[in-house]
């Protein structure tokens, strides 16, 4: 039986119109993986990014011009976007002077942290005094329903990972864009704060109460025309000791017909949990199929996405070819493109 989610009580995926252009704030970040929001905006919404700002102790940079909040405001910036997704989604006290300086310079603040901006009294008071907005994107829609697990119309593709912060969002964006360029009816569905900033709508799955997380994933990719494909941004990893629960809820709720495993060759330890090793691709495929069959018995892996950043073109081509041959699946780095990525798009389209 197919379920039309439109039969449920009226609910809507949160839609956001953010004040642009942005000044990207990197805080005191020294781990590039935790600055994925800044990098995602730089790479997928460059027209909205004016510059970056960080504390002196930060070692990560997007390569954008370094501007203070006052300098950015003078050049037309309208908001400071916190470009960090740190463990726990906290806003350290060390950031507070810079955030206050942004408000005083006339900038709104946009964040996708678990900590709500308005819950921090100094920020709330400063924003009220200067007439600035505090915009939290990790706020799920109200009145979410629990998941039904019932099949719905349309097709779905989910990106899953051997770890977090290695390319699930980039892969989903690249595939949705690539298929749309071929004339297919494909939509990117954002499930995290960076994707929401890029797409302008979505649900931050990791901010949803656990009982409703799979239901939120159903809402994120509702019933659609039979030939429509939702390309859903994955979160975390089924093998991550901290974030596997989010990955599982997204898997069950999105009911993907196909999935793509995202992996970064050479990464040995799980990000943020160095005592845990990154699992092999084959283990992720087997685990995803086993768990995904609960809500879609026909689930299958359609390909592999490799993050080959930092490799030479020759090394990347070799690793891509070897990985595809080892698993009998199309493999590609979506950012490098080329014939390998065309073959991956073919598999997604099939």
The whole-number pLDDT of residue 5 equals: 31
Q: Are residues 208 and 310 in the same domain?
A: yes
Q: Are residues 105 and 232 in the same domain?
A: no
Q: Are residues 232 and 126 in the same domain?
A: no
Q: Are residues 32 and 93 in the same domain?
A: yes
Q: What's the domain range around 69?
A: 22-136
Q: Are residues 163 and 130 in the same domain?
A: no
Statement: residue 3 has pLDDT above 50:
no
Give the chain's radius of gyration (CA, Å).
Answer: 20
Rounded average pLDDT over 250-277 = 96
Q: Of 104, 136, 168, which residue is a domain's last?
A: 136
Nearest C-alpha neighbor of 218 from the set 56, 15, 2: 2
Band (1; pLDDT cuts 50, 70, 90): very low
Instruction: Give the total number of structural domains in the chain.
Output: 2
Statement: residue 331 has pLDDT above 80:
yes
Extended beta strands in the chain, E state: 22-25, 49-53, 79-82, 108-111, 134-136, 155-161, 186-189, 229-232, 258-263, 269-270, 273-277, 300-306, 331-332
Question: The tokens of 23 are what?
Answer: 């000044």
Q: Please give the Cα distance from 154 to 151 (Å, whole number).
A: 10
pLDDT tens-digit series, residues 85-126: 887 788 999 999 999 999 999 999 999 988 999 999 999 999
Band (142; pLDDT cuts 50, 70, 90): confident
Domain-embedded: residue 94: yes
CA count, 13 A, side-chain hemisphere, 338? 12
Q: Are residues 218 and 309 in the same domain?
A: yes
Domain-embedded: residue 5: no
Q: Are residues 164 and 231 in the same domain?
A: yes
The whole-number pLDDT of residue 13 equals: 66
SS3 percent helix, strand, coil of the chain, rounded to 5, is 40, 20, 45
CATH number of the domain within which 59 lies: 3.40.50.720
Domain-embedded: residue 16: no
Q: Which residues pair with 303 in a beta bridge?
A: 260
Local structure of 331: helix, strand or coil: strand
- The terminus-to-terminus CA distance of the chain in angstroms comes to 23
Token look-up 């199929």 returns 289
Q: Of 108, 136, 164, which residue is a domain's last?
A: 136
What is the pTM assigned to this prediction? 0.87
Cα-based distances in Å from 186 to 16, 50, 92, 107: 20, 30, 39, 35
Domain-embedded: residue 115: yes
pLDDT tens-digit series, residues 5-52: 333 333 456 667 789 999 999 999 998 888 989 999 999 999 999 999
26-44 in b/e burial notation, b at 16+ Cβ within 10 A?
bbbbeeebbbbbbbbbbeb
**Better-predicted residue by pLDDT, 6 or 288:** 288
């Amino acid at each position: 039986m197919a379920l039309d989610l439109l039969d449920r009580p009226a609910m809507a995926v949160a839609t956001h119109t953010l004040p642009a252009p942005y000044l990207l704030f990197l805080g005191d970040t020294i781990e590039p993986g935790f600055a994925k929001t800044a990098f995602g905006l730089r790479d997928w919404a460059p027209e909205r990014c004016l510059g970056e700002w960080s504390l002196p102790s930060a070692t990560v940079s997007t390569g954008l011009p370094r501007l203070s909040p006052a300098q950015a405001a003078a050049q037309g910036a309208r908001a400071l976007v916190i470009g960090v997704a740190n463990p726990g989604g906290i806003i350290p006290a060390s950031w507070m002077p810079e955030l206050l300086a942004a408000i005083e310079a006339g900038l709104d603040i946009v964040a996708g942290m678990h900590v709500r901006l308005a819950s921090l009294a100094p920020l709330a008071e400063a924003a009220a005094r200067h007439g600035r907005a505090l915009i939290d994107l990790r706020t799920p829609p109200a009145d979410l329903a629990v998941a039904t697990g019932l099949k719905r119309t349309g097709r779905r593709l989910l990106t899953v990972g051997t770890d977090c912060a290695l390319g699930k969002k980039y892969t989903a964006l690249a595939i949705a864009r690539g298929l749309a360029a071929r004339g297919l009816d494909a939509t990117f569905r954002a499930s995290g704060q960076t994707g929401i900033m890029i797409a302008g709508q979505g649900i931050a799955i990791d901010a949803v109460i656990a009982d409703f997380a799979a239901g939120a994933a159903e809402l994120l990719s509702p019933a659609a025309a039979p030939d429509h494909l939702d390309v859903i941004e994955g979160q975390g990893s089924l093998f991550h000791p901290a974030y596997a629960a989010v990955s599982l809820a997204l898997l069950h709720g999105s009911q993907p017909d196909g999935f793509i495993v995202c992996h970064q060759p050479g990464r040995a330890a799980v990000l943020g949990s160095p005592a845990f090793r990154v699992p092999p691709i084959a283990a992720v495929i087997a685990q995803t199929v086993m768990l995904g069959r609960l809500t879609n018995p026909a689930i299958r892996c359609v390909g592999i996405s490799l993050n080959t950043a930092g490799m030479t073109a020759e090394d990347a081509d070799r690793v891509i070819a070897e990985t595809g041959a080892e698993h009998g699946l199309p493999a590609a780095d979506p950012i490098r493109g080329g014939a390998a990525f065309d073959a991956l798009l073919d598999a997604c389209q099939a």
